[in-house]
């Protein structure tokens, strides 16, 4: 029982990171209107941007997070220019294939530039553990986990405010719902889509550095599985709903960690993708309620 509860805490923390990944992913898909497979590489670039900040300036977490956001944001610009801008009116599979190609390119270039080996990311957050006694059950919560969860909540809250309370946010949501109508509102759709894509990428970059801190390592090939997990999580919200994507991320985190508690750690991904397949079988359109929406 104690072990399960501790795994639940681990799952919550990892789920929070997955939630951030999924939020970024659904922002991209929502605003651009096309599925992306470069997301894992964007996260990896974010993680490496932060890694070099750690190398150069020591373990400065706020600065590293800014660097991760900025690095991923810039890669977002490149991906947008190469994979989306020319293909808004083309069949969707063209930009989809394009993102797969760019993903391979970035991954391999990264292996040349950053080196193929896994690099350690150590002691960014002080290794301290808080012990909570809950009716005779001993729960160990790491400072790292608290920092991660708080950070994800703050970022998600900021994003929600941005989307709901600012003109930029309304423009982004308008573009994600109907591009032609958005043009007729005088919105520069291409620029807005670019910015939405980059904001989503930036969030992915931050998720990348959080994963590196969580696993104490960063490598050029880290992106692949996470890209698929971000996709799996946002399937819950039909790929575009931010709240359901976050929930999906949280679910995957918890399912993975409880799953490996009853099996072995090597089966981690089985549970994540089992969840994806299950959701796709039951409700491929996602769980967003369409009630009250007449079109």
Residues that bind another protein (CB under 8 A): 167, 170-171, 173-174, 177-178, 180-189, 292-295
Tokens 């639940």, residue located: 8
Shorter beta-carbon distance to another protein: residue 113 or 167: 167
Shorter beta-carbon distance to another protein: residue 171 or 247: 171
Calpha distance 211→84 (Å, rounded): 27
Nearest distance from C-beta of residue 216 to another protein, angstroms: 41
Distances (CA, A) of 146 to 7, 102, 112: 15, 35, 35
Shorter beta-carbon distance to another protein: residue 181 or 262: 181
Nearest distance from C-beta of residue 181 to another protein, angstroms: 4
Nearest distance from C-beta of residue 164 to another protein, angstroms: 8
Quote the tokens at residue 129. Answer: 């553990």
Question: Residue 118 CB: number of other CB atoms within 10 A?
Answer: 14
Find, among 230, 178, 283, the residue nearest to 43 by Cα: 230
Shorter beta-carbon distance to another protein: residue 190 or 268: 190
Shorter beta-carbon distance to another protein: residue 16 or 174: 174
Nearest distance from C-beta of residue 178 to another protein, angstroms: 6
Calpha distance 280→45 (Å, rounded): 30
Contacts for 286 with CB less than 8 Å, ≥ 6 apart: 235, 236, 237, 238, 239, 241, 244
Nearest distance from C-beta of residue 30 to another protein, angstroms: 10
């Amino acid at each position: 029982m104690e072990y399960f509860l501790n795994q639940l805490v681990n799952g919550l923390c990892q789920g929070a990171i997955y939630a951030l990944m999924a939020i970024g992913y659904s922002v991209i898909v929502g605003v651009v209107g096309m599925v992306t497979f470069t997301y894992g590489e964007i996260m990896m670039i974010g993680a490496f941007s932060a890694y070099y900040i750690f190398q150069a300036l020591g373990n400065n977490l706020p600065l590293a997070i800014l660097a991760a956001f900025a690095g991923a944001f810039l890669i977002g610009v490149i991906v947008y220019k190469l994979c989306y801008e020319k293909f808004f009116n083309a069949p969707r599979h063209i930009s989809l294939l394009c993102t797969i190609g760019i993903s391979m390119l970035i991954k391999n270039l990264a292996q040349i530039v950053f080196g193929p080996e896994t690099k350690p990311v150590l002691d960014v957050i002080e290794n301290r553990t808080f012990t909570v006694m809950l009716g005779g059950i001993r729960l160990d919560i790491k400072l790292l986990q608290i920092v991660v969860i708080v950070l994800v909540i703050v970022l998600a809250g900021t994003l929600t405010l941005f989307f709901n309370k600012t003109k930029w946010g309304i423009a982004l949501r308008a573009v994600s719902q109907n591009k032609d109508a958005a043009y007729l509102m005088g919105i520069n759709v291409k620029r807005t889509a670019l910015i939405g894509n980059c904001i989503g990428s930036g969030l992915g970059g931050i998720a990348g550095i959080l994963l590196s801190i969580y696993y104490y390592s960063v490598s050029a090939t880290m992106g692949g599985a996470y890209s698929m997990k971000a996709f799996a999580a946002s399937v819950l919200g039909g790929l575009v709903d931010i709240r359901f994507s976050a929930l999906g991320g949280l679910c995957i985190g918890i399912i993975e960690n409880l799953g490996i508690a009853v099996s072995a750690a090597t089966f981690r991904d089985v549970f994540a993708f089992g969840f994806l397949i299950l959701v796709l079988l039951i409700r491929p359109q996602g769980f967003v309620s369409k009630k009250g929406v007449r079109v």
